Structure 1
Amino acid sequence: MSTGWTWFIVALVVSNLIGCAALLWWTSRRRPGDPAPEETSHVWDGDLTEYNKPLPRWWINLFYLTLVFGVGYLFWFGGLGGIAGYGKWSSASEHAADKALAARKLEATFRPYAGQPIDRLAQDPKALTLGRQIFANTCATCHGSTGQGAIGYPNLTDNIWHWGGDPDTILTTVLDGRQGVMPEWGTALTSMGGPDAVEYVVAYVRTLRDPSLLYNNYPAARGKDLYDGLCVACHGPAGKGNQALGAPDLTDDYWLYGNSKESLVQTISKGRQGTMPAHRDLLGETRARLAAGYVWSLSHPPAARAAQAP
């Protein structure tokens, strides 16, 4: 806070304290000419009289003590702009202390699961419960509360993994994140095959799951040549993909961004950028490991059933 604002706050606080004390002193004293407490001349119905009695002295003294307490509070805790209190208290230090206490409690809770393989954690009921809670707080925003994902966010309950589905790879994905990049091929394809080149590739990609669709399919035949010239480097000759690169398998029926013609044209012509954030620093390794164990259980129902068994 700037020096000017600090002095403004000091002046405001001091003037309020002095003003409250002066007002209290002025209104609590009796001045010459004031009527006696029983002589206000305000009488109703013959026997109802308004008195003008001052507050009891002990009550007035409590107001003074309140002002003294306020001065002491400001002296110890601060509150005068950028001037720190004598006790060096601050909301930031209070928050840091509370955070450190909570961190110690969490560390004690998660310590038994440190370093354990995620497929083993998926069979521990208590670890699975903790992992489910961490998933709900951190991962459900993108992947949904049931882990079934949405357009642009992978489904975690099936057996399709763009980067690999073994325990170590899943853990690496959660800890360090992933960056999936589908390059923009619209311009390159148009220069190679004309204005309809992207649609030709879409037609061919649809046949990868069912090669019989290639029969008497001119757009797909044109698309195969274009695919072999550009797409094969990542997705492979048969379209099986490459998990080392995060290139999806084009022969299954799962499409991260949808399988409509418009969506596929958009993916090929404009590209896609998919980011899985790293959670190592956000959650710490053990909590990320517990979340990964829960994710593992979603695609391995027997492990989940074993964890829920008494």
Structure 2
Amino acid sequence: MTTGWSLYVIFLVVLNLVATTWLLWWTARRRKSDGNKDAETTGHVWDGDLTEYNKPLPKWWINLFYLTIIYSVGYLIWYPGMGNFAGTSGWSSAGEHDADKAEADKKLAEAFSRFDGMAIDQIAKDPAAVAFGASLYANHCAMCHGSDARGAKGFPNLTDADWQWGGSPDDILTTILNGRQAAMPALAPAIGGDVGVTEVAAYVQSLSGIKADPALVAAGKAKFGGVCAACHGIEGKGNPALGAPNLTDDAWLYGSDFNSIREAVTLGRNGMMPAHLPIIGETRTRLAAAYVWSLSHGDKAEAGAPAGAP
């Protein structure tokens, strides 16, 4: 908060306290009117002799209000509430949050310390660990990969056997711990412009059994071998070490239609998986990874959620 806004807040707080104190003092005075030594009336009379008086509030009631004002002043001295003044207690909502989080993290660390450093395929054998991993997945992963983990355009399906960066326990754990950065460069200038892009797109479609023009496929094969094979391999089967996907199967991250493939070759692709180690820590990352492992290795995990479970 800037100094100007801080002074503005302090002014409003002090103004409200002073105005409230004055209002209580003013209403506590005994008001008199001509012809009535005790109190003035409001002018309302019912049934001929039932008069409404305008008398001060009871002293005990007024004094309670004064006590609340005194309490408010003490509160504003002890706790923050006067602009940038932090209060003499040193309390802050951020500090309390951090303390509560540290306590909760300590309890969680104690509860799951037995999984520290354990391989995720071994953790996946524990139903309780997988259930907790499913909760972690729902909180941190479902917004991209979906509640059923089947992904969407640009976000991989985690329930099948296709893994862009490798599907071993260590590969999956590394992906979630450290994140991944995929980079498909724009290749149109390198393969001959629009014509070359069309030829390569047709050849890529043919690799997975999609029908394409034979002439385009033949021309695209040569261009693919000279440029694209550096990452995807001469046979188009990909390279998990580089995150280059297998182009010969039916798993397509951005779509297998001609226009989607052509767009990828022309403009490139940039996929980013954030690192979760600094977000949820190593052990909880292992639990989330164990859940992900169980989705496509349910028979090997021997326990845990079935493949595709939300």
Q: Is the TM-score greater than 0.5?
A: yes
- 1:19 deviation in Å? 2.3
- Residue 43 of structure 1 aligns to a residue whose secondary structure is strand
CA offset digits 1:48-107 (Å, max 9, x no partner)? 332333322111111111111111111211322122322222222222222222222222
Residue in 1 that maps onto 2:24: 24
Q: Is the 8 A contact 2:33 2:40 kept in 1?
A: no
- 1:240 deviation in Å? 1.2
- Alignment partners' CA distance in 2, 1:258 and 1:227: 19
Tell me if 1:207 matches 2:225: no
Aligned residue runs from structure 1 range 120-269, under 5 A? 120-190=122-192, 195-210=194-209, 217-269=214-266
- Alignment partners' CA distance in 1, 2:99 and 2:117: 28
- 1:10 deviation in Å? 3.2
- Alignment partners' CA distance in 2, 1:15 and 1:143: 53
- 1:304 deviation in Å? 5.5
- Alignment partners' CA distance in 2, 1:7 and 1:235: 63
Q: Which sections of structure 2, spanning at least 5 residues, go unmatched? A: none
- 1:114 deviation in Å? 1.4
- Alignment partners' CA distance in 2, 1:269 and 1:3: 52
- Residue 171 of structure 1 aligns to a residue whose secondary structure is helix
Provide runs of 4+ in structure 1 moved above 4 Å: 36-39
- Alignment partners' CA distance in 1, 2:214 and 2:32: 112
- 1:11 deviation in Å? 3.4
Number of residue pairs the alignment of both structures matches: 304
- 1:13 deviation in Å? 2.6
Taking only the aligned residue pairs, the percentage that are identical comes to 54
Q: Is the 8 A contact 1:36 1:52 kept in 2?
A: no
Q: Is the 8 A contact 1:9 1:81 kept in 2?
A: yes
* Distance verdict in 2 for CA 1:105–1:233, change over 3 Å: same
Match among 93, 96, 112 for residue 94 of structure 1: 96
- Alignment partners' CA distance in 2, 1:236 and 1:256: 18
> Which amino acid in the other structure matches residue 205 of structure 1?
V
CA offset digits 1:11-70 (Å, max 9, x no partner)? 333333222222211221114536355773642223433233332211111111111111
- 1:210 deviation in Å? 4.1
Q: State the Cα RMSD in Å.
A: 2.3
- Residue 182 of structure 2 aligns to a residue whose secondary structure is strand
Q: Which sections of structure 1, spanning at least 5 residues, go unmatched? A: none
Deviates more, 1:290-299 or 1:238-247: 238-247
> Which amino acid in the other structure matches residue 286 of structure 1?
T
- Alignment partners' CA distance in 1, 2:134 and 2:242: 29
Q: Is the 8 A contact 2:130 2:290 kept in 1?
A: yes
- 1:139 deviation in Å? 0.6
* TM-score normalised over the length of structure 1: 0.90
CA offset digits 1:188-244 (Å, max 9, x no partner)? 2126xxx42211112222222349x79x92111111111111111111121111111
> Which amino acid in the other structure matches residue 12 of structure 2?
L
Q: Is the 8 A contact 1:183 1:270 kept in 2?
A: yes
* TM-score normalised over the length of structure 2: 0.90
* Distance verdict in 2 for CA 1:4–1:150, change over 3 Å: closer
> Which amino acid in the other structure matches residue 154 of structure 2?
G
Q: Is the 8 A contact 2:122 2:301 kept in 1?
A: no
- Alignment partners' CA distance in 2, 1:132 and 1:190: 47
